[in-house]
Amino acid sequence: MNIKATIKIFILLLFATACKENPQMHITNLRCEQQVDPIGLDIPKPRLSWVLESNHRGAKQTAFQIMVSSSLKKLNSNTGDIWDSKKIVSNQTFQIEYKGEKLLSEMEYYWKMRVWDEHGIESDWTETSSWEMGLINQSDWSAEWINDGGNVAGNREGLYADHPAPLFRRDFNLTKKIKKARLYITGVGYYEATINGVRVGDHLLDPGWVKLKVEAPAGTRIKIRFGELLYENGTLNVMTSVAGQIKGENGDGTLRGGAFSPDTAWQSDTYITSGNGIEFCGIGWALAHPLLLLELYQYYGDVSLIKEQYETARKWFELVISENDLIITHGLSDHESLAPIPSPEMVTPLYYQSAVMMSELAKIIDREEDVSKYENLSKEIKEAYLEKFLDKGDGRFAPYTQGSQSFAVYTGITPKNEIKNAVSELVKNIEDHDGHLTTGIYGTKYSLDVLSKYGYAEIASKMVSQKGFPGWDYMLTNGATTLWETWEFSDNTYSHNHPMFGSVSEWFYKWVAGIQADSSAIGFDKITIRPQMHRTRAIS
């Protein structure tokens, strides 16, 4: 036998041995709608997920099969009478939409699945999991609301009175042995249910939110106000959640919010029945909706939310377009910034960012006409903004603050050939303020990201741990246990428990630890690991 033949046989034996010893991929953490064996689902097409485990490098799923049955007996005999997906070539492991028979109220369904690895080797079937449908049809609901007999309708003060939660009790007798029973319950606010003195379930603060049903003529406006505190008489203190801190007049008698602003800008949600209108608090706040849709898609691969919510986002953005030119003249932007935040310079980049996001959402769900429309709009906004607010060649953006520099770079409105100078201007501004930031809710996040992305991670680290005002250390030094709404301490005016400036937590994960979803990731399938460790004084 010659040497070449010997080598071939040796390689084949190695391959055969590797295949034989190669362990099967192990499937764990089966979930339906991100829950283990959930009950009470009201989703017509639940989504299924699982986690893969393997002790060899490069292992991956290349195909899967899901089987759903109406009984354990049928599932154990590999009879998928509700759904048998057959072998589907895909590496997807998250949010696989159910595509079987129509699901019925109160029915329990059993499922299992298996996968094929990169060598085409088939795994064993998983252990059985299940889900149970809730009352999914309006006609299934026959219960009525009950109360403790108190009449608080029209008595606003009574709504906030100091009284204990009512206790409701109902006795009933069973006439036969119970195999399984379900309690369908909700409450206005929180509730805790017990049967024979034993608490039902292990959830806290159920339901947490309540869906309010209002019957009113089309176009009726329903306003809900907010506040963090109550006055001594039990009424709502809305001063703790005023938008933009627009409260009363300036020293010269002019309105604090400018011409035509209200005396006090109460925070409220306005709902318009029958979907005949949309109200929003400026582009900066409202863009949270399309932004979350995109981020949930990037992190979890959840396209169903985009399909469900796209029309809402589109209607909002069409309203924005109808009420504005290419340069935005009003609206909130870098809330609680210590530097000027004129709307045209600061809100217009957010308008551009919104147009880009709307185009991306439209592309994901194949709305080609909208893709083209919003792409073209973003180009027009960018051209108008750069012409008006960029000092070309210097990378300086009006009004020449940390906020304006970071807004321009982070949102992507800065031309590639101006990015280097734009970031340098940001760094210079920080140095001019002795290493301190001057930014608000948006600019703080944007500055940390921009500095870390473009080679100034050490400056970002020093800025985060900087002593004195303004900064996180200043809050801690002044007794803060939660984040403030403002950099400066406020006595009973601004909030002391606010998500403002919490973006620093994200910065620790994304830039210090360096764990990021790739910009093209779907369901976090592509990950960038790029730690940026710098020695800074620890805040404790």
State the pLDDT confidence band at 212, using cuts at 50, 70 and 90.
Answer: low
Residues 6+ apart with CB under 8 A from 235: 156, 157, 160
pLDDT confidence of residue 353? 98
For residue 293, name the pLDDT band (cuts at 50, 70, 90).
Answer: very high
| Rounded mean pLDDT, 285-295 | 95
Strand partners, 132: 108
What are the C-alpha distances in Å from 212 to residues 215, 222, 274?
10, 11, 14
* Residue 256's pLDDT band (cuts 50, 70, 90): confident
Beta strands in 244-381 (DSSP E): 268-272
Query: Which secondary-structure segment (H or E) carries 66?
Result: strand 61-69
Q: What's residue 162's pLDDT?
A: 61
Mean pLDDT of the chain: 87
**pLDDT tens string 144-185:** 888 877 665 555 555 545 666 788 999 999 999 988 888 888
Q: Is the pLDDT of residue 92 over 70?
A: yes
Residue closest to 287 by CA, chosen among 245, 325, 331, 317: 317
pLDDT in the model for residue 217: 79
Q: Kindly tell me the number of DSSP H helices and DSSP E strands found in the chain.
A: 14, 18
Q: Is the pLDDT of residue 260 over 70?
A: no
Can you give the pLDDT at residue 152? 56
Q: What is the mean pLDDT of residues 322-331?
A: 93
pLDDT in tens, 1-34: 555 555 454 444 444 444 444 567 899 999 999 9
pLDDT at 521: 93
Q: Average pLDDT of 264-280?
A: 66
CA 405 to chain centre: 26
Secondary structure of 142-186 in HEC code, one letter for each residue: CCCCCCCCCCCCCCHHHHCCCCCCCCCCCCCCCCCCCCCCCCCCC
What element of type H or E holds 397? Answer: strand 396-397
3-138: CATH superfamily: Immunoglobulins (2.60.40.10)
Which has the closest alpha carbon to 355: 384, 314, 325? 314
Stretch 75-96: mean pLDDT:
95
Q: Which of 114, 109, 117, 140 is nearest to 32 (CA)?
A: 109
What 3-state DSSP class applies to 26? Answer: strand
How far apart CA 44 and CA 261 sit, in angstroms, is: 46
Tell whether the model's pLDDT for residue 246 goes beyond 80: no
* Stretch 67-88: mean pLDDT: 97
Q: What is the per-residue pLDDT for 16?
A: 45
Distance, in Å, from the CA atom of 314 to the CA atom of 370, rounded to the nearest integer, reads 9
pLDDT at 494: 81
**pLDDT > 70? residue 509:** yes
Q: Against a cut of 0.85, is the pTM above it?
A: no
Residue 405 DSSP SS3: helix
What does the pLDDT read at residue 210? Answer: 61
How much is the average pLDDT of 338-343?
95
As given in the structure block, the two tokens for residue 11 are 């390689």
Residue 405 has pLDDT above 80, yes or no: yes
Segment 369-381 shows an average pLDDT of 98
pLDDT at 211 over 80: no
Percent of the chain with pLDDT over 70: 87
Do residues 130 and 38 lie in contact, with contact meaning Cβ atoms separated by under 8 Å? no
pLDDT tens-place string over residues 301-321: 889 899 999 999 999 999 999
Helix, strand or coil, per DSSP, at residue 224:
strand
Between 2 and 511, whose confidence is greater? Answer: 511
pLDDT class of 395 with cuts at 50, 70, 90 = very high
Residue of 231 and 412 predicted with greater confidence = 412
pLDDT of residue 398: 97
Instruction: Quote the pLDDT of residue 533.
Output: 78
Residue 33 DSSP symbol? T
Q: What was the pLDDT predicted at 15?
A: 46
Show Cβ contacts of residue 425 under 8 Å, excluding neighbours closer than 6 positions: 394, 395, 396, 397, 400, 405
User: Mean pLDDT lowest for which of 268-272, 370-374, 388-392?
Assistant: 268-272
pLDDT digits (tens, 9 = 90+) for 103-155: 999 999 999 999 999 999 999 999 999 999 999 998 998 888 888 776 655 55
Supply the CATH classification number for the domain 281-466: 1.50.10.10
Range with lowest mean pLDDT among 232-236, 345-349, 370-374, 463-467: 232-236
How far CA 53 is from CA of 24, 94, 278, 392, in Å, comes to 9, 14, 46, 53
What is the residue extent of each domain of the chain? 3-138, 214-277, 281-466
**Predicted local confidence at residue 448, as pLDDT:** 97
More confident residue, 300 or 397: 397
End-to-end distance of the chain based on CA atoms, in angstroms?
72
Q: Cα-atom radius of gyration of the chain, to the nearest Å?
A: 29
Long-range contacts of 219-225 (CB under 8 A, 24+ apart): 219/272, 219/273, 219/274, 219/276, 219/277, 220/272, 220/273, 221/270, 221/271, 221/272, 222/270, 222/271, 222/272, 222/273, 223/268, 223/269, 223/270, 223/271, 224/268, 224/269, 224/271, 225/266, 225/267, 225/268
Rounded Cα–Cα distance for residues 242 and 266 (Å): 5
Considering only residues 527 and 254, tell me which one the structure prediction assigns the higher pLDDT: 527
Q: Work out the pLDDT band at 496, boundaries 50, 70, 90.
A: confident
